Each structure stands twice: as C-alpha cells, then as structure tokens.
Structure 1
Amino acid sequence: MANLRSSRYYFLLAFQFLVLIQTKVLCYQYKVGDLDAWGIPTSANPKVYTYWSKYHTLKIGDSLLFLYPPSQDSLIQVTEQSYTSCNLTDPILYMNNGNSLFNITAYGDLYFTSGEKGHCEKNQKLHISVLSATAPAYSPSNGPSAFSPSYPNVFGSIPQPPSSALSASSSHSLSIPVLMASLTGFLVCALVGGIM
C-alpha cells in the first residue's frame, strides 16, 4: 500500500509540474512595420509605423526586429519629448548593426526613431505601448497577425529599462498565478499522499 501512495504522490507531483510549465509563456518577435526594412515610409503609406503599432499588442518578453542597411540607417530609442520634436541627441539606446533586436523588458511607452538626420521628420519613427498583464488590451486577434510573422530569434542588444518604467507593484503581478498554482498543487499532493 505504501508503494501505491508513493506512486500516486509522484504522479500528482509530476502533474503539478506540468501545470506550472503550461502557463502562458508565449513571446513573439515582430518585424517592425512588416516591411522589407526599417526605413522612411513611402508616400503611399506615410503613417505605416503609426498603424503598425495600433494593431499589435505587445507584452514583456516580446521583441522588435528592425532590419535596415547599416551603412544607410540606424535605430535609436528616445524619450517622448525627443520623439515628438525629432531630437536625435542623447538617445536612450543606439543601434546600428542593421539587424537590431530590441527586447521588451518593461511596461510603458517606448519611442524609437531613425538615428539619421531628416528621417524622423519623414515619419520614420515608432511609438509602442507595452501594457501590464492586467490591463485590457485591444487586439484584432489572439496572437500575432498574419502580417507580422514570428522570426527566429537572433542575437541583439538587450537594453536596460528606464528605472521609472517598472513599478514595484507590477513586478509582483506575474508571480501570483504561479504561487496559486503551486499552493493548490501542494495541497492536492498533501491530501492524496496522506500528509493532511
């Protein structure tokens, strides 16, 4: 009888582990603008980056892939004020390798523009909002759209998030479901194992 309890206990422990690893951990890599490259928008679609950001719901763990010829363009992350005024001085982050990967590590608004003079004024800039896990989000679909395929992960820069971008309360919101699942699994294992 001890072997039956032992095997039942280990079965439920394995089941609890499987439940924990099945929590939603989906991260996507989005090619910015769904264009061939990060560049100055065409006259036929001058607001391509504005429209693109409206139809993509981004979350922590996702990444943005900016492709461009490194000899002709670059990418900078800037403040809201610099984004609005197209001020290229003192960027938060500067990338110029032509295959720039920006990993989203914090909630809030992020602003990007080309690091080349005159490109920002021609609408080569992107503003995205990364919502918290509990905030309602507009999303035309449950996953990435057909127009934004997920690309294989490539090496890229991992930016340091601004210290004000992540509040103390939001850092704990992701661990509550895992804590509840662990507690429930422990109680079930304890009941079946005869501890309680």
Structure 2
Amino acid sequence: MAILGRPARSHLLLALQLLISAAPAFCHQYKVGDLHAWGIPAVSNSQVYANWSKSHSFKLGDSLLFLYPPSQDSVVQVTRGAFDACNVTDPILHMDDGNSLFNVTSPGVFYFTSGSPGHCEKKQKLQISVLNANGSADAPSSADGPSALADISPSYSNVFGSIPAGQSSSSAPAAPRRPQGVPAIAAAMAVGLLACAGFM
C-alpha cells in the first residue's frame, strides 16, 4: 500500500467527512417517562409526561416504549378531543402487554393516555409532536375535530399492520427497520483503519 501525499490525505479526509455528515441520523427508542415509566404521576410531579415530551425531539423512525404492570394499566392512542376529555371508550390503538412499543411512522401530533379508568384524569397522558422535513407537525386545530385528526394520524392498521381475527387488543411487534447508521459506522471504521495504517 502506497503512502498518500499530503494533498491526497486532505482530499480523502474531506470525502470521508462528507460521507459521515450525509449519513442519515439514528432513530431512537424513548422510554416514556424515563425513570418514572408509565403510571399515574405523583401529585408533586403531575406534569411529568408533559415535561418529558417537551424535553425530547421526536422524528420519523423513532419509537416510544411504554413500560407498566400489564395487570394494572394499559396505553391507548386517542384523538385530540378524546385526549382533552379523557375519553378512552373509542381508542385508535389499545396496547396492554406492559411492554408496549409505538413506532413513529408519520409526522403529526400523537395523543396517548392510560386505558384504565380514572388514570387520564390524574394526568397519566402524553402528547408528542413529530416534525416532518419542513419542520411542521401538520396538526389540525382542535376545532377540526376527530375526523380531521384521523386524516393525518396513523390508524392501527397503518402503523402496525392488520389485527389478526380474534384479537381485540395487543401490542403488535415493531416492524423491521432498515439499519440507518451503517454509512456513518462504515466511514468511521474506514477513518480508523487509515489512521492505524499510518495514512493520517
């Protein structure tokens, strides 16, 4: 292997830097509530989910992990109107396995609450905004009502696939994802190998 001259090394480094910066961003799996997990918030920390949501930036490909005791709680995705009124009688999605994963597959505003009676009224509810490429969440106003929200919010079948006959509620497995960090990892490995070989 020939040793590259200074200009060639500079061009190689520039090319590798461009490759790394052009690589797609990694998707994240967020544990809802972090250490608080999914449950009725303490009276002293009733805004835990609102604050948690504000402290994160969600994007397409991310996922939300709701952890809770399955015999005591559940998660439902609802419309904005149902979220505001704590009405969980007609959810978009119902998950109750204690280890529920929601994959973000479209931009918009998503609303979640506990499916257990009385929990929503005790602030066990979460609203997240997922921005599209132009920086907008494309959320309808509250006056638009559930039908407008249904136009942009993914339904159960759009997010997770069809529900097998005989099942009324479950947390469907996450759809397989294409590895998105491979170009960045490959570029970093190439830089490391070049450095070890004495080219840098």
> TM-score if structure 2 supplies the norm length?
0.58
Rounded to whole Å, the distance in 1 between the matches of 2:34 and 2:74 is: 17
Distance 1:60 1:162, change over 3 A: farther
The question of whether the paired residues in 1 share the 8 Å contact of 2:110 and 2:153 is answered with no
1:164 equivalenced with 2:156 (yes/no)? no
Shift of 1:134: 2.6
Q: How far off is 1:136 after superposition?
A: 7.7
Q: Deviations over 1:70-100 (max 9, x none)?
A: 0000000000000000001110000000000
Contact 1:77/1:93 (8 A) holds in 2: yes
Instruction: Give 2:93's aligned residue.
Output: 93
List aligned pairs for 1:125-164, cutoff 5 A. 125-135=125-135, 162-164=150-152
Corresponding residue number in structure 1 for 2:42: 42
SS of equivalent residue, structure 1 residue 128 = strand
Deviations 1:14-69 (A, max 9, x none): x89x9499522310000001124200000120100010111100000000000000
CA distance in 1, matches of 2:153, 2:92: 13
What secondary structure, in the 3-state scheme, does the structure 2 residue paired with 1:50 have?
helix
Structure 1 residues not aligned, in runs of 5+: 1-14, 138-160, 167-196
State the alpha-carbon separation in 1 of the partners of residues 121 and 34 from structure 2: 20
Q: Report if aligned partners of 1:36, 1:67 keep a CA contact under 8 Å in 2.
A: no
Match of 1:49, SS?
helix
The 2-side partners of 1:88 and 1:47 are apart by 20
Alignment CA distance shift 1:113-1:165 (3 Å): closer
Contiguous gaps of at least 5 residues in structure 2: 1-14, 138-148, 155-200
Question: By how many angstroms is 1:123 displaced?
Answer: 0.1
Matches within 5 A, 1:104-143: 104-135=104-135
Partner of residue 54, structure 1? 54
Inter-partner Cα distance in structure 2 for 1:123 and 1:109: 18
Closer, same or farther: CA 85–29 of 1 in aligned 2, 3 Å: same
Counterpart in the other structure of 1:171: none
Counterpart of 1:44 in 2: which secondary structure? helix
RMSD: 2.7
Identical positions, percent: 58
Q: Distance in 2 between matches of 1:70 and 1:165?
A: 26
Contact 2:108 2:152 in 1 (8 A): no
Looking at structure 2, the residues matched to 115 and 165 of structure 1 have their Cα atoms a distance apart, in angstroms, of: 19
Q: TM-score, normalised by structure 1?
A: 0.59
